[in-house]
Structure formats: structure tokens, C-alpha cells
Structure 1
Amino acid sequence: MSLDGLGEPSGAQQLPTLFPVPEPAAPSRRRRSPSAGAAGGPGVGASDPMAAAADGDPGRAATAGAAARPARGSVDEAGRQLVFFGAETVEPAVADLAGLLAGPGEVVRMGGTARLSIVVDAPWRVHVLVAELAQRGLSASWEPTEDERHAVRTSYTRALKPLAVAWTRGVAKRPPAGFHLNGRRLRLWLAAAGEVDPPGCRLHLGAADRQWWEPVGAALAAVGLAGELLDSGASGPAYLISGRHRLRRLAELVGDRPSATPPTAWP
């Protein structure tokens, strides 16, 4: 079922009906610290070769390890202190989709283009992901699966080729060297495959990605979200984030709850 890239269904086709289609959110215009802009601090992926490539700057990709030390935080127009690495401190970018690939997302290449897909378990996740993809200029489609879930996928596009190149070796998915997480990447991961399960939160992984679970866990730990790897159970593999401090940190990083998301489904 096709969408027009703006989060609205085309023709008579409709998104899952549990929640209304949210209005496309305009990209955030936050006041950023110097390191979140031209200085290329870790908050915008300067240490991540994929992020540099996705920004269309091969020179940055070649020197991606030399990130400048960022400021501790920034302040928005309302005077709030924004969390360093938080979703509100940087503009949406295609490189953020690395958060979906850290979870159960998949990316495939075709010629000079690529497509990202992920299967989600609830209609509200479809709404949130379609809106997030539209903010990054990506059109999306969805269809129900035989097990009563929903497959969300982008169109094939050149914009996703750097992401696919960084995350694949042959047809296999694997995190690139220097992979890290930030607020926007975590926000997408949570929206697609996060499960708030008091007193913790599970971030689900790809069942076929076992050899890459450890690097993903290390990236979580690097942003203060060291989790327990759950390798069994009907819900599949996941990192369990628990503890008051870590859950508060997660909530600060992912930002405000999307409008289509049930209150109990967001930290």
C-alpha cells in the first residue's frame, strides 16, 4: 500500500486504522552547539563513516575518526537545556536510519540505489515511521504480513546508497566501523522495535544478526545505556535497559513521545 512520502495515504488506501494519520512534522529548528554543526561532533555522526558519506562528503568519511570535542549541551529557543546526543539537538538526516538497522531493520542494494525495510508489530509504529521517513525526504509503503504484523519499506533511492554500502558486506548486514548511537537513531529504533516493559525497556534486535549484537550493545553502553542481552523468549532477542538512571537517560535521548504513540509505549 503506497504512501506519498508525506505520511498521507494515496487514493483510497489507508494506513492501519488504530490511530489517525499524524500531520507531517516540520524538521526541528533547534539552536545547536558548535560541535553539532560545522565542527562535526559525535552528535551528528562525525565519527561514523556512514554518516559522513550519507551527508555526501567523501572527504569527511575518510577522516571520520578525528571528531572535535563537543560542548556538553545546547539550548533551544524556549531556553530548555537540551541533552547532548538528544533527538532535539540535531536535524533529521538519512544517517539516522542506522538506528533501524541496529534493530531488526534490513537494507538491500539495487544498482546505484537501496531500500530499507522493517517489520513492526503495531499500527502506531507504521504511522510514526512513515512520518519520520517523510521528514528525511523518503517515501514509504506498507503492507500487512501473514503473522498480523506490518512491513514498512522505503522506495529504492540513491539517498540510501551510502547507508547500504556502510551496513552491508555482500548481502549480509553488519555495523560499520565507528558505529555509534545518538538520540535520533535511538528514537527510530524505539519507534520501530522498542517495548516499554516496566521496570525496563526492551530494544529488539534482528534474530539473524547474532554476530553483531555485541557491537550494538557497545554502542548503547557508550551513550550511558548499557543493557542486558536477552537471547531467548517469544519476543525474540533484545537489549533490556533497566534502572532509574538509564531509563531517564533513554527518555532524555529519544525526546518527546510522537503523537501517534500510546502513552504507555514511550519512556
Structure 2
Amino acid sequence: MAQLSFYSADVNEPQLVDLGGILAAHGQVVVHGSSARLSILVADRWRATALQEECTVRGVAAKVIEVEGPAPFLLQTEKEPQLAGLASAWTRGAVKSVPDGLIADPGLLRCWAISAGRTFSPGYILGLDPHAPDTHDGLSTACAKAGLAGSLIGVRGGGPGVRIVGHRRLVRLVEYLGQPPEGARDADFPVADY
């Protein structure tokens, strides 16, 4: 049995800023006066359900809506005043932007992996927003600050995304992410193999 890291998402107290992992992926935030709403389209029900749970444990009401298309599940929060600060940190004007000094901590990484993570031999890819290319370098840097230095890959390489390779980095990623959400496949959520 593997020992949990003190930095694991399973042992750290959930923080509202962790939901920035949805925005690190292809999620969107819309400001409504003094409130904001997060949303993301995902291809798998388990992802939508797991993100709904991540929102709930952070005191944010969210629902899963089935829609037409290749990503048939929409996770959408309610308009919440507490999300206004997150929206402000992740935008410059109306454009998605990486918060200054961001470090990809376990809670944010977990939300990011649930939103858009998958194995890709060799390694693991944290998917990036193809419509926000200006965020890619900042998110790669945030991973490096967390000890998960990865390479940016484009569409031809299976991205856009940050590809993390190497045994030590992958072990660290697994420790940070904690236990896989219910329904997640090994191909989507990394598990310890040591």
C-alpha cells in the first residue's frame, strides 16, 4: 500500500482557488455583476460528476447538464459571489489569463486532471485550453514550480497540453492527485504502479 503524501489532494483542505484547475483546462468563467459562474464541457459523465463533487466540497453549488455534441456533459456552477475573486484572478479584461505567481498545488491539479487529464505514452497530459494559447506557458511554469516540469505539446502531439514524463514526476503527480474519482479509468487518471 502506498503512503499518501502530505501534499496530496486527499489530505489537504479543499480551497476555492482549487477550482482554478477547471480554468487551467478548457473551462470558462463568466462574470455576472458581483458574481461569477464556472462551466466546462467534458466527454465523460465521471468527469462531470467528479467536478460537481469538487465544487460541492468547496461550498459551490453546481449541476451537470446533458447536451448535444462530442462533449455531452456540461458542468456548470450557480452564479456565486464567492467565485468573483477566482474570476478576477484568472482573467485580464475578458481574456483568460494565468494568475501571477500561480503554483499548481494538489487541489488545483486534481481539478485540472479531472477536467482534461489523460495518459499518453510516455507520461500524462494535463490538457490546455486551445482557445487560450496565452495561458499555456504560464501553466507549464506553474507545473514546474510544483516539481512537475513538463513539455508543452501541440495538437499533433496529442495536445494542447503539458506532458509530464519521468518516473519521479509521475509518482509525484499521483501523490498530488490522490485517489481516482469513481468511474475514472486508468487511462484518464493516473494511479500508482509502485
TM > 0.5: yes
Which secondary structure does the structure 2 equivalent of 1:156 belong to?
A: coil
118-127 vs 83-92, greater mean Cα deviation: 83-92
CA contact (8 A) 2:62 2:75 kept: yes
Which secondary structure does the structure 1 equivalent of 2:126 belong to?
A: strand
> Could you say which residue in structure 2 is the equivalent of 1:215?
138
1:171 aligns with 2:94: yes
Aligned residues, how many?
188
CA distance 1:210–1:130, shift in 2 (3 Å): same
CA distance 1:199–1:235, shift in 2 (3 Å): closer
104-113 vs 132-141, greater mean Cα deviation: 132-141
Aligned partners of 1:122 and 1:223: how far apart in 2?
28
Q: Rg larger in 1 or in 2?
A: 1
Read off the aligned partner of 1:107 and give its amino acid letter.
Answer: V
Unaligned runs of 5+ residues in structure 1 are 1-79
* RMSD (CA atoms): 1.8
Which secondary structure does the structure 1 equivalent of 2:156 belong to?
A: coil
Which secondary structure does the structure 2 equivalent of 1:87 belong to?
A: coil
> Could you say which residue in structure 2 is the equivalent of 1:103?
25
Which secondary structure does the structure 1 equivalent of 2:114 belong to?
A: helix
148-157 vs 113-122, greater mean Cα deviation: 148-157
> Could you say which residue in structure 2 is the equivalent of 1:87?
9
Aligned partners of 1:211 and 1:262: how far apart in 2?
30
CA distance 1:145–1:171, shift in 2 (3 Å): farther
Match among 141, 154, 157 for residue 80 of structure 2: 157
CA contact (8 A) 2:117 2:126 kept: yes
TM-score, structure 2 length as denominator?
Answer: 0.89
TM-score, structure 1 length as denominator?
Answer: 0.66
CA distance 1:136–1:214, shift in 2 (3 Å): same
> Could you say which residue in structure 2 is the equivalent of 1:129?
51
Read off the aligned partner of 1:129 and give its amino acid letter.
Answer: L
Shift of 1:183: 0.7
Aligned partners of 1:193 and 1:239: how far apart in 2?
11
Aligned residue runs from structure 1 range 237-252, under 5 A: 237-252=160-175
> Could you say which residue in structure 1 is the equivalent of 2:62?
140
Shift of 1:93: 1.7
Which secondary structure does the structure 2 equivalent of 1:246 belong to?
A: helix
Which secondary structure does the structure 2 equivalent of 1:152 belong to?
A: strand
CA contact (8 A) 1:179 1:219 kept: yes
Shift of 1:178: 1.7
1:253 aligns with 2:176: yes
Shift of 1:114: 0.1
Shift of 1:113: 0.3
Unaligned runs of 5+ residues in structure 2 are none
CA distance 1:232–1:157, shift in 2 (3 Å): same
Read off the aligned partner of 2:160 and give its amino acid letter.
Answer: P
